[in-house]
Amino acid sequence: MAKGKDSVYSDYFDFDALPDEELIRLFQNDELAAYDTLVRRYRDQLYLFAYRFLGNQQEAEDVVQETFLRLFRKRHAYRQIAKFSTWIYTIAGNLAKTELRRRKRRRLVSINDMGFDEKEFEIEDEGMDTEREADSSMTDKLIQQAISELSPRFREVIILRDIQELSYEEIGSILRIPLGTVKSRVNRARLKLQAKLKAIKPENK
């Protein structure tokens, strides 16, 4: 905060070392390198969220791209009262939910697509560890499929908590729900997922 607008352009920053809130402030002063740093910092985790939420690589990329475009366009809408991570996750989450509704409207995904027919179910785990065995990857697919069958409100909490490993407090801020609600919703989501995943046996791994 000590640096005025003049020094924003005069100096070279080690942008990677700056906290999110400082970067967005620089970006609000048209410092594009700060935008780039934020993109690199959040790209992978937002993509992971969107990918697990939507179960589709292309849609996930679209959502994350749109999130960053919104960040670009609406940089001045951000106020320092909120954490940047919360703000950007809220944008991505809303866009992902919109995408889900749009998909339903367009009927792009039929019941069969979400069913157990593997040919129809197109999940490509690009980042998958090559050492994983075939039956394990099958389980990954089944887990993703079960996640996709959860309603959006359970889906988002389980992704944020168990896949992205955010704290309950952060999840509460992103979803704007009380801490107790987050905890009980996570528990219910896990139980629902467990019910859907009876195929996974404890001795599998």
Partner 1 sequence: MSLCNRVQKLFSAYHEGELAEDQRIAFEQHLEECSRCRENFSAFQVVCRRLKELPKPKPTPYFDAALYYRVRREQSHASRYTVFPVPSWRTVPVFAAAAVLLVFLGAQLQKAAMDKQIRELAALNDLLRQNAEASAHFVVTQIDTTANRIKVIKYVNTRPAGVEWVNYPAQASRRTLIDRDADGYPDLRRAPRPATGLFSPPSSELNGARVIQASQYQF
- What number of other Cβ atoms are within 10 A of residue 170's Cβ? 18
Q: From 38, 60, 187, select the one nearest 127 (Cα to Cα).
A: 60
- From the list 97-105, 106-114, 136-144, 171-179, the region that binds partner 1 by CB under 8 A is 136-144
Alpha-helix runs per DSSP H in the chain: 5-10, 20-28, 32-54, 57-73, 84-106, 134-149, 152-158, 168-175, 179-196
Q: Which C-beta is closer to partner 1: that of 82 or that of 200?
A: 200
Q: Which of 82, 163, 177, 181 binds partner 1 (CB under 8 A)?
A: 163
d(C-alpha 89, C-alpha 147), whole Å: 19
Q: Is 167 in the site for partner 1 (CB under 8 A)?
A: no
DSSP 151: -
Q: Is 193 in the site for partner 1 (CB under 8 A)?
A: yes
Q: Is 143 in the site for partner 1 (CB under 8 A)?
A: yes
- Count of residues interacting with partner 1 (CB under 8 A): 59
d(C-alpha 35, C-alpha 138), whole Å: 38
Under the rule (CB under 8 A), what is the footprint of partner 1?
A: 9-12, 15, 30-33, 35-37, 39-40, 43-44, 47-48, 51-52, 57, 60-61, 64-65, 68-69, 72-73, 124-129, 132, 139-140, 143-144, 158, 162-163, 165, 183-184, 186-187, 190-191, 193-194, 197-198, 200-202, 204-205
